[in-house]
Amino acid sequence: SAVISQKPSRDICQRGTSLTIQCQVDSQVTMMFWYRQQPGQSLTLIATANQGSEATYESGFVIDKFPISRPNLTFSTLTVSNMSPEDSSIYLCSVVGTSGSNTGELFFGEGSRLTVL
């Protein structure tokens, strides 16, 4: 299975500021996914980060608010810009397994819990 490290694991942020979340995978993957989980809710896909091209955003999410970088096949960042209390969520990085019995399975990082005051 893929080992995914995210940081920060949690943070408390002030309204109007921006925060960048880092995601490191222990193997090379083509696509990395960023999800948001608002309190008490399910997971919503923000965007798919592809190495060497711009991220693909889902409906309701825009690059100005959630810029993503994907400099190589093992690393990605998600920035939450100009934060408001409504951005308080867990942000999860995930990848799809590509080897053996893990092929096609979605693995998650530990998550980054953001609280915006």
Does 92 contact another protein by CB under 8 A? yes
- Find the part of the chain contacting another protein (CB under 8 A) among 15-23, 61-69, 70-78, 101-109: 101-109
DSSP 9-50: SEEEE-TT--EEEEEEESS--SEEEEEEE-TT--EEEEEEEE
At its nearest, how many Å lie between another protein and the CB of residue 102?
A: 9
- How many angstroms separate the CA atoms of 111 and 99, rounded? 23
How far is 99 from 60, CA to CA, in rounded Å?
33
- Could you tell me the smallest distance in angstroms from the CB atom of residue 58 to another protein? 10
Q: Does 73 bind another protein (CB under 8 A)?
A: no
Q: Is 5 in the site for another protein (CB under 8 A)?
A: no
**31 near another protein, rule: CB under 8 A:** yes
75-80 and 68-72: which strand pairing? antiparallel
Give residues in contact with another protein (CB under 8 A): 1, 31, 33, 41-43, 45, 48, 90, 92, 96, 104-111, 113
